[in-house]
Amino acid sequence: MPKAPVTRNDVAEYAGVSTAVVSYVVNEGPRRVAPETRERVLEAIRVLGYRPNATARALRMGTTRTFGLITPDGGNPLFAELAKAIDKEASARGYVVLQTSADGDPVTEQAKIAELLIRQVSGLLLVAPTEDPDLTEVGIPVIAINRVLPSVSSVRPQYRAGARAGVKHLIEHGHRMIGLVIGGRGTGGRAPERELGWRDALRQAGLEDGPIARARFSRQGGYDAGRELLAATKRPTAIFASSDLQAVGVLRAIHESGLRVPDDIAVVAFDGTAETEYSWPPLTVVRQPLDRMAREAVSRLIDGEDAVQSLTYPTDLILRRSCGC
Amino acid sequence: MPKAPVTRNDVAEYAGVSTAVVSYVVNEGPRRVAPETRERVLEAIRVLGYRPNATARALRMGTTRTFGLITPDGGNPLFAELAKAIDKEASARGYVVLQTSADGDPVTEQAKIAELLIRQVSGLLLVAPTEDPDLTEVGIPVIAINRVLPSVSSVRPQYRAGARAGVKHLIEHGHRMIGLVIGGRGTGGRAPERELGWRDALRQAGLEDGPIARARFSRQGGYDAGRELLAATKRPTAIFASSDLQAVGVLRAIHESGLRVPDDIAVVAFDGTAETEYSWPPLTVVRQPLDRMAREAVSRLIDGEDAVQSLTYPTDLILRRSCGC
DNA sequence: TTGAAAGCGTTACCAG
DNA sequence: CTGGTAACGCTTTCAA
C-alpha cells in the first residue's frame, strides 16, 4: 500500500493557512510571510514529511533545472571523468544532470536527444556527438563538448597546440622518428587537429613525418595500432597517441614485443585521465582541462549566452616516465 | 526569442479534433480512433513539430519513468561500467536514468537522494551507499547495489565465493604465502566478505594467513598497500587485491621495486573492469557480473517485487597473465 | 499579511 | 468513435 504522497494542500490544511502561503515559505518568496505563520508552516512540513513535487513545479515554471548529458560511451574513462566534472559543476549550481550514453551510434544518439527533450531538460550537453543532429529548433541551450558543430557553441581543449606541445617534448628528448596513433579507422571518428599538431611539431623541427596508424579510440584500437607501428619498416623511436585509451593499448603492444618504455620507445598520450598515472610506466600526457571545460559548458547553459562560439582551452603537459623524463 | 513550444492544444486545433483524440493517438490508447482522424492528427504533429511534455504527463500520471542512480564516485571505472549497464538496461525498458555521484560523502549522498526524490523518480538505485539512509518512507522502490542495507533489497556479486576462487587459483599455482589488499583504512569502507573468501581459501589449503594491507579503494591506496606488503618481513609471493583500482596500484608498486609479475609476485584482482585487460601484465580477475546485476536491479524496480531480499550473483574467474597462467 | 483562483500540458472519465 | 472537462501539484497575480 504505497501511502499517498503528502501534497502542499495537506500542509496548508495542517497549518491552517492557504496553499499560497506554503508556497511563499517553501520558496522564500515572492511574498514575505509573518514569522509566526512561517513557523507553523515549517512545523507542518516537518511533521507531515512534505516534499515539493518538482514535476508540478516544472510544469508551472517551464523549467526543470535539469540538464541532459549525452556521451558516446559511458565506459570510456575520459567521458566518465568529464561527466563527473559536469555533474559536480551542475550540482553546485542547483541543477541535476540526466546522463546517458549513445553507444557511439548516431541513431541512438538522436533518440536519446528526443528522450531528453520531452523531459523538458533545461539544456543539453553533447559530448563528442557523432553526427550533427538538428539542433536549431530545440528551444533550449545546447553545447557541444570536444567537437565543434555548425549550429551550436562548443567547448574543447586546444587539440592542435596540445598535440604540438606533446610531440615537441618528445623531440626535445632527441627523438627524430615519431609515430602517430590516431582515429580514423572503424568507428571513433578522426582527430584532424591532433594530427595537425603532431605534424606542426615535426615541421618546426625540420623532421619528416613518422608512420601513422589509424585505429579506433579504444584500448584494442591502440594495441592494433601499436603492433602496426612496431612492424613498420622505419620503426619509430617514439609514439604520440591521440588518446589515453590508445596509449594504454600501445603500451601493451610494446611490452609484448619485449621492447622497453621509454628506453627503446617513448610514448606520450593525449587526454590525461587518472588511469595514465598508474600504467607502466606512468604516461606522460597532454591533459585536457576537463574541470574548466565543464565549468564553462555549464555556465553557458545557465547564463544563456546565445552567440554561437567555439571556445578552446589550453592543455597541460604532465611529465611522467613514459617520455624518458 | 524562444519560440513558444507547441502543445497538444495546437495539434488538436490544427487537426480539427479535441485534445483527447490527440492523446489517444499519441499513446495508442486507451481508446481507438478512426484511421482517417488518426492520419490527420499524425500529420498535424509532423507539421507543427509537436513533442509531448513529459513533465505534464508525469504530473498527471504520477510516474516519470525515470530512475535515480547514485554512485559513490563517477570517476571509478567499476561504477562507470555499472552505470553504463544500468543505463542500457533501463533504456531498453523505456526508462531514463538520472545519474549522479555522491563523492563518497554521506551528507552529499543524502542530499542527492532528496534531490532525486523531489523530481519524482520512479525508483532509486544506490551503488555502495556509505551510510544507511532513511529509506523506509520514500514511497518508491529502492535497491542497493554492491552493499546490503537493512531496509531495502540488494544485489551484489558473490564476494566471498569469488574471492575464494581467486585465491584458490593462486594456491593452485603453488603459492603458499598470499597477501591481501583490502579496504578499511581511510574512506572507502571495508570488504569483509572478500576478506573471508581469501581466508577460506587459505584455510582449505591448510595455509596460514598472509600479510594484510588495508587501504582505500583507489589506485593510490593500492600503491601504498603494495609497498607495505613488499616491505613486510614475510614478503608474499602472491597478492589478492580486493579491487581493480588497488590491483593497478599494487602493480605499480611491484614494478617500481624491480620485481616481476608474475615471476616474482603473482597478482589477482576482484572486479574485472576493462582497464585490467590492458595493464601490464594483464590482470587475472574475478569479474563482477555487472550486466546481470544491472538487469536484475532494474527489473526489480520496474516489476516492483516488494519483499526485501538480498540477491547475489556468481562471479567469473578470468585468467590472464598476472597469476602465472 | 494572507486567500482565491487561474493556468501550466497532460490523461481519462463521462457524455454524446 | 469523438468531444468536453476535471484533475494532477504547483506558482503567482489579484483582491481582500
What was the pLDDT predicted at A243?
Answer: 97
- Say yes or no: domain A64-157+290-313 is CATH 1.10.3720.10: no
What was the pLDDT predicted at B119?
Answer: 93
**Residue spans in chain A of domains classed CATH 3.40.50.2300:** 64-157+290-313, 159-288
pTM, two decimal places: 0.92
What was the pLDDT predicted at B2?
Answer: 46
Q: CA–CA distance from A282 to each of A198, A322, B16, B110, B126 (Å)?
A: 21, 6, 68, 37, 33
User: Which of A43-52, A111-120, B163-172 tops mean pLDDT?
Assistant: B163-172
What was the pLDDT predicted at B305?
Answer: 78
* Chain B residues close to A249, C-beta within 8 Å: 278
Rounded Cα gap, residues B23 and B30, in angstroms: 9
Percent of chain B's residues with pLDDT above 70: 97
What was the pLDDT predicted at B37?
Answer: 87
Mean pLDDT confidence for B124-134: 85
Q: Which residue of B has its CA nearest to A117?
A: B51
User: Which of A95-104, A251-260, B131-140, B182-191 tops mean pLDDT?
Assistant: A251-260
- Tens digit of pLDDT for each residue in B246-273? 999 999 999 999 999 999 999 999 999 9
In this complex, the residue of B54, B118, B274 whose CB is nearest that of residue A51 is B118
Burial class (CB in 10 A: 0-12, 13-18, 19+), B206: exposed
Q: Report the range of poorest mean pLDDT among A301-305, B113-117, B138-142, B184-188.
A: B184-188
Q: Which residue of B has its CA nearest to A48?
A: B137
Judged by CB atoms closer than 8 Å, whether chains meet at A100 and B120 is answered as no
- Residue B11 pLDDT > 60: yes
Q: Which cell is A160 given?
A: 592542435
In this complex, the residue of B56, B223, B275 whose CB is nearest that of residue A59 is B56
**Residue spans in chain B of domains classed CATH 1.10.260.40:** 8-52
What was the pLDDT predicted at B188?
Answer: 60
User: What residue is closest to C6 (Cα–C1')?
Assistant: A60
Rounded distance in angstroms from the CA atom of residue B59 to the C1' atom of nucleotide D14: 26
* Class (C level, CATH) for A159-288: alpha beta
Give the pLDDT band (50/70/90) at residue B216: very high
Percent of chain B's residues with pLDDT above 90: 70
Q: Report the range of poorest mean pLDDT among A42-46, A224-228, B157-161.
A: A42-46
- CA A52 vs. chain centroid, Å, equals 31
* Class (C level, CATH) for A8-52: mainly alpha
What was the pLDDT predicted at B302?
Answer: 93
Chain A, 32-51: which CBs lie within 7 Å of strand C? 32-34, 36-38
What was the pLDDT predicted at B49?
Answer: 87
Rounded distance in angstroms from the CA atom of residue A146 to the C1' atom of nucleotide C2: 52
Q: Residue B118: helix, strand or coil by DSSP?
A: helix
Strands A142-145, A153-157: pairing is: parallel
A311 conformational bin, left if phi > 0, alpha if psi -120 to 50, beta if neither: beta
User: Which of A88-92, B62-66, B147-151, B287-291 tops mean pLDDT?
Assistant: B287-291
What was the pLDDT predicted at A1?
Answer: 40
- Residue B134 pLDDT > 50: yes
- Tens digit of pLDDT for each residue in A243-271? 999 999 999 999 999 999 999 999 999 99
- Residue A141 pLDDT > 80: yes
What was the pLDDT predicted at A34?
Answer: 87
Nearest C-alpha neighbor of B82 from the set A187, A80, A88: A80
In this complex, the residue of B55, B74, B84 whose CB is nearest that of residue A58 is B55
B53 touches strand C (CB under 7 A): yes
Percent of chain A's residues with pLDDT above 70: 97
Q: Report the range of poorest mean pLDDT among A2-16, A84-98, A201-215, A277-291.
A: A2-16
Rounded distance in angstroms from the CA atom of residue A110 to the C1' atom of nucleotide C5: 41
Rounded distance in angstroms from the CA atom of residue B228 to the C1' atom of nucleotide D2: 77
What was the pLDDT predicted at A234?
Answer: 87
User: Across all residues in chain A, what is the average pLDDT?
Assistant: 92
Q: Which cell is A74 given?
A: 559511458
The partner residues of A197 in beta bridges, in order of sequence, read none
- Residue B83: partners with Cβ closer than 8 Å, 6 or more residues away: A74, A99, B69, B71, B74, B97, B99, B127
- Residue A291 pLDDT > 60: yes
- CA A78 vs. chain centroid, Å, equals 7
What was the pLDDT predicted at A18?
Answer: 87
- Residue B297 pLDDT > 70: yes
- The answer to whether the CB of B187 falls within 8 A of the CB of B156 is no
- Residue B287 pLDDT > 50: yes
Q: Cα angle vertex A96, ends A91, A102, to 5°? A: 120
Residue B303 has, within 13 A of its CA and on its CB side, a CA count of 8
Mean pLDDT confidence for A206-216: 96
- The answer to whether the CB of B159 falls within 8 A of the CB of B314 is no
Judged by CB atoms closer than 8 Å, whether chains meet at A114 and B83 is answered as no
Mean pLDDT confidence for B98-108: 88
- Residue A321 pLDDT > 90: yes
Q: Which cell is B139 given?
A: 514511497
